[in-house]
Each structure stands twice: as C-alpha cells, then as structure tokens.
Amino acid sequence: MPDPIHGVNATNAAGVASAGQGRSAAPISPPPSGAANQADSADVARAQALIATITEAANMVPPANLTRIAELRQAIELGTYQANAPQIAKMIMQIEDLLTGEEKAG
C-alpha cells in the first residue's frame, strides 16, 4: 500500500519512486569529498578554538557570593534595598566604554 507521500511506500522508504508509481528514480550522486571535508575540519577546528577561549574566560570569572546574593534578594523583597543611582550610572558608562573601546578620563 502506497504511503500518502507521493513516491514513497513501505518497501521503498528511501524516497525513490518504484517502477509502478509513474516516476523515474533520480540518480544519486556520491557525497562530495576533499574540499568539503577540509571545510568541515576547518569549521570544527574554529569551533574548538572558540570553545577553548570561552572556557578560559569563564574559568577566570570569580565564583558567585551566594551569601551576598541571598542578602540582596531579601533586602529587595523587604523593600529595604537602597540603590546608589550615581554609582549605577557610572558603572553603566564604564561598561559602555569597554564595549566601544573608548576610555574617558574622569
């Protein structure tokens, strides 16, 4: 019994039409070799280098101070946390400078 997908039936699941289905089978070309394999290898090598760089950067980040995080979370929930707006603005500007590569005196 033919599958509802045209050209595929239970005995021919590769998608090549059987002789009785009115479609001729398209020739299957072999997979490319040489250049494609080199490109794949280059992509893998580049990905491995990127992963190594990210891992190294992540290992340099200090661990989270879970006690301080719990204290801040509680202060926020209780409404007793006092944000230092000028300090927050200064830090945002420093981060922006780092991202854009600019440094300003001040």
Quick: pLDDT tens for 55-100.
999 999 999 999 999 999 999 999 999 999 999 999 999 999 999 8
Give strand ranges (E) for 6-89: none
12 — pLDDT class (breaks 50, 70, 90): very low
39 — pLDDT class (breaks 50, 70, 90): low
Q: In degrees, to the nearest 5, what angle opens at C-alpha 32 toward C-alphas 39 and 46?
A: 10
Phi/psi at 12 (5° precision)? -135, 70
What is the residue-averaged pLDDT of the chain?
Answer: 76
Q: Give the residue-averaged pLDDT of 38-49.
A: 81
Task: Give CA–CA dist 40/34, Å, rounded.
Answer: 10
